[in-house]
Chains A and B, each alone.
Chain A
Amino acid sequence: MTQTAPRVMQDEEDVLDVRNLGISFRTPAGEIPAVRDVSFRIRRGETLALVGESGSGKSVTSLGILRLTPKPPFCSITGQVLLRGRDGTVRDLASLPEDEMRDVRGRDAAMVFQEPMTSLNPVHRVGDQIAESIRFHEGLSRRAALDKAAGLLDLVGIPDPRRRLGAYPHELSGGMRQRVMIAMALACEPRLLIADEPTTALDVTIQAQILDLLRRLQERTRMAVIFITHNLGVVAEIADRVMVMYSGRVVEQAAVRPLFRSPLMPYTRGLLRSVPRLDFAGLGREPLAAIPGTVPDPLEPPPGCSFGPRCGGFLPGTCDAAVPPLEEARPGHQVRCVRWSALTGEAA
């Protein structure tokens, strides 16, 4: 297999370097490109938030990194996903053979899923489920792995961890189960943790606890975190950088402060306006803004900018001419909109 680019990462501190990632599904209706030309990097200890509404491709991106998407020919992955493993070697996950991929999953990069209720196997004890990856990746005996699992349960704040090892998932609350999922993901001290909406299914107080836990664990292990969410409140709280996705493409990427203070892409501005804010309550009786319309059908994308049909600043002839390039508007702030400067009144 020929490499399109050398497998080097420019920065020693980089954990993940995704280049031109494309993921498409084969369906009876045709080839559906779910993710197109997505590139980003994450450093050690950094948290990247992946934001977008349902169908924007954020979950598929995260599954694609670990190749948990359906196997070919049902799903094809293009581009490069360079991951620096625990031993310092860089591997391209997009072209790695399946058995080597298995060594990466759970060891160098791990994942926490959205639904703690259904993501644990109902017939096995949580201790064994946590110990499972330790046994396979580190070759420990069941007893030693269970000892380590008890330590992990303690780490994620589960009281009486020894006894909880023997619990079945249905005996734990949603928050507890998500803690177990996190313990499971952290079992082999991965360099990269992908959290796919880990707090969406939980109630608000538990959400805060889980976010706090993730932040604490990250400080301790300096792992890189990809945090997928559609909750901008969570983004503000946890992320260093934000990547906004729309219909399979990155439309804006920036550090969290500039993005919240001066979003350049009309879609991002729409997203921010649609968040209910307590500090405005009582001042103006402004109704909560919603972005009109829905995400375009991936089989029949609109010409040019895919957000065009829903955009207030849509200019015929300009916006629907071609897919806008991802432009470096300011240092470290990229936007995919040809009219960002005109629409925000800022100089390019």
Chain B
Amino acid sequence: MSSYVIRRLLQGAGLLLLVSMIGFAILHLAPGGPLSQFAAGGDMTQEDLDRVAAQLGLDRPLPIQYLDWLWRMLQGDWGLSYRDQQPVLSVIGSHLGATLELMLTSTLLAMMIGAWVGILGAIRRYSLFDGFATIGAMIALSIPTFWFGLVVIYVFSVGLGWLPSGNRYTIGDESLANRVHHLIGPCMVLALVSTAVWSRYMRSSMLDVIHQDYIRTARSKGIPERRILIHHAVRNALLPMITITGLHLPTLLSGALVTETVFTWPGMGRLFLDSINYRDYPVVMGILMFTAVLVLLGSLLADLLYNVADPRLGANAT
């Protein structure tokens, strides 16, 4: 088991290196740069701009810049944000809480509702409920997030005045009630799509399981239907869900770009978007690497959990 983990981690390190190279290259290929912000202001001479570029090290050849960044990164120095000269790690850290709050709530909500919708849809296949759930999921998956976010704001904030239109809390009022109040809108938008996704996965996984021979065996033993469903069917149907959860894990911390932007939620998604707009290279690279690490850890964790949950794998997973 431990040798398996070490092998996976080494593979992961190689992958991270590749991700950093490609990310760095694409970022610098994008037109414009950190200096265009200053240049647009118009009150800086070319001389000033060159001096700033030299200060930031942007006048060096790209491979040198990359190696410099990599070398510092390996030493634990993620660099300073171009925007406010804060260390990248603390910039990321200050946005994590908001993202985690939003993503965790919406994901838990989506998993719980989605799983039940999927389970019920599978055991009452082709019923009215299943039909509505299927159509509902298709609609939810087809709706663009930004549009649905705007609709929620338009209906519940502008029209009905029930919900705030953005932010994490009202300045000066950080009570739980106020935070929850602000959470409802973006949470609803995020949960809509994920609920649809989870319900579809759960439904197909459940359909696979309920036609298995061992379900018939359980039925032939005369145990209650409820127990067959939970103990025999759902228990097996949840196995593939572990993988999906693991792959979903990174988004808990990397955030939702569109929803956070629409609801001016001060999370990682919005930080990423803002940093790209400002060509804040250190922060963009920082978020990129942070997310890449999460993806690798998430899939590793899913594989390890799978080994624990499925006795068929536990024995020979080394």
> Which of A114-138 touch B at CB < 8 Å?
115, 118-124, 132-133, 136-137
Which one of A103, A105, A110, A119 contacts B213 once the chains associate, using CB atoms below 8 Å?
A: A119
**A136–B219 alpha-carbon span in the complex (Å):** 12
User: Residue A81 at the B interface, CB < 8 A?
Assistant: no
Q: Chain A residues near B220: list those with CB within 8 A.
A: 66, 68, 105-106, 110-111, 113, 185
| Chain A interface size range | 20 to 34
Do A107 and B222 have beta carbons less than 8 Å apart? yes
Which one of A101, A115, A121, A181 contacts B218 once the chains associate, using CB atoms below 8 Å?
A: A121
Do A122 and B223 have beta carbons less than 8 Å apart? no
Q: Chain A residues near B219: list those with CB within 8 A.
A: 68, 105
- Taken residue by residue from 297 to 310, chain B's Cβ proximity to chain A (1 for < 8 Å, 0 otherwise) reads as 00000000000011
Residue of A nearest to B309 (CB): A123
Q: Chain B residues near A107: list those with CB within 8 A.
A: 222
User: Residue A143 at the B interface, CB < 8 A?
Assistant: no
Do B221 and A123 have beta carbons less than 8 Å apart? no
User: Residue A314 at the B interface, CB < 8 A?
Assistant: no
| Chain B interface size range | 20 to 34
Q: Chain B residues near A103: list those with CB within 8 A.
A: 222
**A124–B217 alpha-carbon span in the complex (Å):** 13
Chain A proximity of B187: nearest CB distance (Å): 33
Do A105 and B214 have beta carbons less than 8 Å apart? no
User: Residue A170 at the B interface, CB < 8 A?
Assistant: yes
Which one of A122, A170, A171 contacts B236 once the chains associate, using CB atoms below 8 Å?
A: A122
Chain B proximity of A66: nearest CB distance (Å): 6
**A132–B214 alpha-carbon span in the complex (Å):** 13
**A35–B239 alpha-carbon span in the complex (Å):** 38
**A185–B239 alpha-carbon span in the complex (Å):** 28
Centre residue among B219, B236, B239 by max chain A CB count within 10 A: B219
Do A132 and B223 have beta carbons less than 8 Å apart? yes
Do B221 and A184 have beta carbons less than 8 Å apart? yes
**In the complex with contacts A119-B214, A119-B216, A121-B214, A132-B221 CB distance below 8 A:** yes
> Which of A46-105 touch B at CB < 8 Å?
66, 68, 101-105
Q: Chain A residues near B310: list those with CB within 8 A.
A: 122-123
User: Residue A168 at the B interface, CB < 8 A?
Assistant: yes
Do B217 and A113 have beta carbons less than 8 Å apart? yes
Residue of B nearest to A136 (CB): B223
Do A104 and B222 have beta carbons less than 8 Å apart? yes
Residue of B nearest to A185 (CB): B220
Residue of A nearest to B214 (CB): A121
Residue of A nearest to B313 (CB): A170
Do A120 and B214 have beta carbons less than 8 Å apart? yes
Do A120 and B235 have beta carbons less than 8 Å apart? no
Chain B proximity of A182: nearest CB distance (Å): 12
Chain A proximity of B126: nearest CB distance (Å): 10
Which one of A101, A106, A124, A168 contacts B221 once the chains associate, using CB atoms below 8 Å?
A: A106
Q: Chain A residues near B179: list those with CB within 8 A.
A: none
Do A106 and B311 have beta carbons less than 8 Å apart? no
**A135–B106 alpha-carbon span in the complex (Å):** 40
- Taken residue by residue from 219 to 232, chain B's Cβ proximity to chain A (1 for < 8 Å, 0 otherwise) reads as 11111110100011
Do B217 and A181 have beta carbons less than 8 Å apart? yes
Q: Chain B residues near A115: list those with CB within 8 A.
A: 213
**A104–B222 alpha-carbon span in the complex (Å):** 7
**A265–B42 alpha-carbon span in the complex (Å):** 104
Do A118 and B214 have beta carbons less than 8 Å apart? yes
- B residues near A, CB below 8 A? 212-214, 216-225, 227, 231-232, 235-236, 239, 309-312, 315
- What are the 4 closest A-B residue pairs judged by CB atoms, nearest first? A105-B222, A106-B222, A133-B221, A106-B221
Q: List 21 A-B contacts (CB under 8 A).
A: A66-B220, A113-B213, A113-B216, A119-B213, A119-B216, A120-B217, A121-B232, A121-B236, A123-B235, A123-B239, A123-B312, A132-B218, A132-B221, A132-B223, A133-B222, A136-B221, A136-B224, A170-B312, A181-B217, A184-B221, A187-B221
20 other A-B residue contacts (CB within 8 Å) besides A102-B224, A118-B214: A68-B216, A101-B222, A106-B223, A113-B216, A113-B217, A115-B213, A119-B217, A120-B217, A121-B236, A122-B311, A123-B239, A123-B312, A124-B232, A124-B235, A133-B223, A136-B227, A170-B312, A184-B217, A185-B220, A187-B221
